Amino acid sequence: MPIETIKLVGRVPHALVRLIDQTELPGREIYLERTDYRLLAGDIRRLAVRGAPAIGVAGAFGVVLGMQEEVNLSPAEFRKNMALVTREISSTRPTAVNLFWAVERMEKALRNVPEISPTYRLLEALEAEALAIYYQDRELCSLIGSHGAALLADGSRVLTHCNAGALATAGIGTALAAIYTATEQGKKVSVFVDETRPLFQGARLTAWELAKAGIEAILICDNMAGTIMARGMVDLVITGADRIAANGDAANKIGTYGVACLARKHGVPFYVAAPFSTFDLSLSDGSGIPIEERNPDEVTSPFGLGLAPKGIKVFNPAFDVTPAELITSIITDRGIIKPPYRENIARLIG
């Protein structure tokens, strides 16, 4: 894919993070360069970088930026100050578990460096771990694509919700990885793209990605999904996920649960695609997944357009949880997981 969502440029202690500003898409393709981890944390909060895997990579890179500022400290002070950086990064968004997984890997990488090591060795260890997370995510996306493409026949018509493509990862995506890989295999695939309100990630991001890749995309309003399923126009649904519990309950962008219900009603297979790092086996089921609630202005005044009466009360959860019983299979880098999920997730992921 020609899209490079996020990357680390240069070497510590002079590295910077280059990322595409997704808030500007599809109108302008603008790349930001960050040397301050606080600015990168702000980019995560304001959705300039988004998607669970990409957030994890951004979190790891943010640790590198934060700690290269501390390269002149003693090793003991360097280790102590790491907690301040990781706390700031971890506070950005609560639902995507990949962020916490990546930060924990960075903390472990630091702990694994001998106590007698000089500060620059500590920083180099963090840089190496962040790059390992980045390259691993690219590989995981490719594997998800290979497994997911097997579910797509020539002529398949796929419905997506939100964006789970290259923009949401360091690689070719999760849900869209299956579509990209199937297309590379010579299969003709068309995609119905839910607009995904209130922030229109489907309309702004997924449609842009697919058009850039030359894949047939048909944009629909969120409330049209049931109609096209009832007309037999959809063969399968594939979405991403931000956190998957031990029983297979999956949190994804708000509206995913409704799409899953419609798919069950109309006999359309509903698949979730995610890497192993999106699974949170500490949670028995989806009731424990923290759901981020965002600014009411995203609903009342999207992109500055006042569409609702001033002062109206707003409920704006960014995610919902799709119960495992509505999910046909979960496409992972380690293979396709089928029910019973608790047993099979533990075997393949645990």
Rg value, the chain, Cα: 20
* Catalytic-residue membership of 320: no
Task: Give the list of residues 6+ apart from residue 301 with CB closer than 8 angstroms, or none.
Answer: 307, 308
- State both tokens at 218: 């048909």
Asked whether the beta carbons of 194 and 227 are under 8 A apart, the reply is no
d(CA 80, CA 133): 23
d(CA 261, CA 270): 9
Asked whether the beta carbons of 260 and 321 are under 8 A apart, the reply is no
Task: Give the list of residues 6+ apart from residue 201 with CB closer than 8 angstroms, or none.
Answer: 50, 162, 163, 253
Active-site residue, from 242, 280, 320, 333? 242
From the list 337, 341, 330, 324, the residue with the least C-alpha distance to 287 is 324
d(CA 272, CA 144): 11
Residue at token pair 């890749």:
213
SS3 annotation, 41-109? HHHHHCCCCCCHHHHHHHHHHHHHHHHHCCCCCCHHHHHHHHHHHHHHHHCCCCCCHHHHHHHHHHHHH
Cite the active site residues: 242
